[in-house]
Amino acid sequence: MTPHRGIVWAVAIAIGTVAPLVGAQEGRPCALEFRGVVRGGVLTTAMKVFSNPDGSKRTYISGGVDATCAGQGNRLLADSAEHYADRGELVLIRRVRYTDTRVRMTSDRMVYYTAEERLHATGAVQGTTDGGTRFAGPEMTYLRARDGVRAVSAWRAPGRPTVWLAPQPRQASSRDMRSQAAGRPIPSRTAAPVDTVQVIGDVVSSENDSLVWAVGAVRITRTDLRATADSARMDQGIGLAQLRRAPRIVGTGERRYTMVATEIDLWSRDEALERVRGHGEGRIDADSLTLRADTLDVRLVDQEMDRVQAWGGRAHADATAQQMEADSLDLRLPRQRLDEVRAIGRAVTRSRPDTATIRSDEMDWIAGDTIVAQFETVTPPGDTAETTRMRDVVSTGTARAFYQVAASVGDPTMPNLSYNRGRRITVTFTEGTVRDVLVEERASGLYLEAPTPRADSTRAPVPPPTARRVP
C-alpha cells in the first residue's frame, strides 16, 4: 500500500463528503484528516457515508486509509476503516500502521478513540518507542500524551508480550565533565542506548518509556543476570529494578551466584549491575559459599560479588569447612573469593577438624562479641575445584574457643580437647589445622588429653598446637 501524499481534501471531496471526515468537534483533542491512497497512478480510496436514525453518521473507507490528526504529527495507515464521528472512534482494519513522535506500531486491527487519545491494537502487535524500547504481543493499548488529556504517554500490553528495554543514557558525571574540559572524549557508554533487557510477563505496562511494570510469571533476561518473580517494577531513569513475590536472580558472570528472598531490588549503572539487595528470608548460593539472613546487601564488580553485608535475625555464612553466624556479617569477596568476614553481635564460627588426624562429629568453634576471620582459597593437589579455608581468626569481647587436637598416639576418634576464655583470642591455622592460640586479658582455660594407649612405634607423634595465655 503506497499512499500519495499530495491529495488531501480535494480527493476526499471527489470520493465522498467533507463533513464525516471531521472526527472531533470544537475542543476535542483530535480533528481527523484523510488523504486518498493512489496505487499505480489510480486513486483507490473509496468512502461511503451512512446516516443513523438518531442523526449520527458512520463512514466506511476501503481501498486504503491514510489519516492524521490535524497538526499533531501522527499518522494512521490501513487497508480499510470505519469512522464514527459522533463518538470519536476510528476502526482501522488489516495491515495497520501508526506513527507519532513517541511511538511506531503495527497490528492487524486498531481502534483509535480520538476524544481519549487512546489506541487499542490487536493481532500481531509490534512497536518501538522513541527511546528504543521494543515490544511484541497479541494486544496493546497506547495512551498518547496530549495537553488537556494526559501529561505523559503510556502503554499497557496484556497477553504475555515480550518487551526489550533500551537503557536510558546516563547523565554525564563530574568525571566526564572534567574529561571533556581536558579535551578527552566522554566514554562511549554515554552514547545512544541499545536494548539489553528482555522482559516477559502476563501483563507489561510503561509510563513515559521510563517506568515499566510487569506482573504474572515475570522473566527478565539481561547480559549479566536472569531473574524471575511474580511482579516487577523498573525505573530506567535511575537504574532500579524491584522484584516482588517469590523473586529469584541468577548471576551469569564467570562465577555464578543465585539469590532468593521475599523482595529483591537491583541497581545498575552504565548498563552494569552494581548492587543487589534481598529482603525477607534472603539466601545466596555461590560456589562453595551459602549466605542466609533476613537482609542481604550485595555489591558487585564486573558481574561478580565483591562485598556482602547480611543482617536481620541471625546472619549465617557457610563455606566448605567453616560456618559463621552473628547478628550481622560483613564479607569481603574480591573476584567472588572469600577473603575476610567480620561477624558482629554474638558471633560464632565453627570449623571441622582435620579429618586426616581426627575423626569426630564435633566441630571446633570460636565465639565472642566480634569475630574477624581471614580466609584463603586453594586448589588441593590433584583436584581442579577450589576450596576455601580459614587462615586466622580473632575473637574479642568475652571470647571463647574450643578446638580438638590430634593425640600424638592413640585412637583418632578420641582427640585432645582445648578450651580457652579471655578478652581476646587469636587462632592461627596452617593448612586448615590449628597451629597457634593466643589468649589475652583475663585468660583462663583447660587442656584435656585423651587416655594414652600403649605406644605405637610405627606412628609419628603429632605435636599439639602452641597455646599461650597473656594475663
- Within a domain: 144: no
For 386-429, the DSSP string reads -EEEEEEEEEEEEEEEEEEE--SSS-TTS-EEEEEEEEEEEEEE
The mean of the pLDDT values for the chain is: 84
> Which H/E stretch holds residue 31?
none
Counting the structural domains of the chain, the total is: 2
Residues 323-380 pLDDT 10s: 999 999 999 999 888 899 999 999 999 988 877 788 888 888 999 999 999 988 876 6
Highest mean pLDDT (candidates 182-186, 261-265, 401-405): 261-265
How confident is the model at residue 22, as a pLDDT? 41
Of the listed ranges 10-24, 103-117, 133-147, 332-346, the least confidently predicted one is 10-24
How confident is the model at residue 352, as a pLDDT? 82
- Which domain-ending residue is among 69, 92, 123? 123
CATH number of the domain enclosing 446: 2.60.450
- Within a domain: 261: no
How confident is the model at residue 136, as a pLDDT? 97
- Within a domain: 426: yes
Q: Residue 166: is its pLDDT beyond 80?
A: no
- Amino acid sitting at position 387: T
- Within a domain: 130: no
How confident is the model at residue 23, as a pLDDT? 39
Q: CA angle 231-237-240, nearest 5°?
A: 40
Burial of 198 (0-12, 13-18, 19+ CB in 10 A): middle
Q: Percentage of residues in the chain with pLDDT exceeding 70?
A: 82
- Within a domain: 243: no
- Report the predicted TM-score, pTM, of the whole model to 2 decimal places: 0.80
Give the whole-angstrom CA distance, residue 99 versus residue 127: 9
Give the whole-angstrom CA distance, residue 203 versus residue 360: 56
- Within a domain: 164: no
Query: Which grid cell sits at 272?
Result: 552494569
Q: Could you tell me the CA-to-CA distances from 102 to 34, 66, 99, 304, 470 in Å, in that order?
A: 21, 19, 8, 37, 75
Give the whole-angstrom CA distance, residue 242 versus residue 234: 6
**What is the arithmetic mean of pLDDT over 442-448?**
88
Task: Characterize the bridge pairing of strands 32-35 and 197-200.
Answer: unpaired
- Which domain-ending residue is among 123, 151, 176? 123
Q: Residue 176: is its pLDDT beyond 80?
A: no
What φ, ψ does residue 85 adopt, rounded to 5°? -65, -35
The residues, ordered by sequence, that sit 6+ positions from 372 with a Cβ below 8 Å of its Cβ are: 340, 341, 342, 343, 393, 394
- Within a domain: 374: yes
Phi-psi region of 11 (alpha: psi -120 to 50; beta: other; left: phi over 0): alpha
- Which domain-ending residue is among 78, 107, 123? 123
Q: Residue 394: is its pLDDT beyond 90?
A: yes
Query: Which grid cell sits at 121?
Result: 491494537
Helix (H, G, I), strand (E, B) or coil at 171: coil
Q: Percentage of residues in the chain with pLDDT exceeding 90?
A: 53
- Within a domain: 266: no
Q: State which residues form the domain around 96.
A: 1-123
**What is the arithmetic mean of pLDDT over 146-169?**
87
Band of residue 149 on the pLDDT scale cut at 50, 70, 90: confident
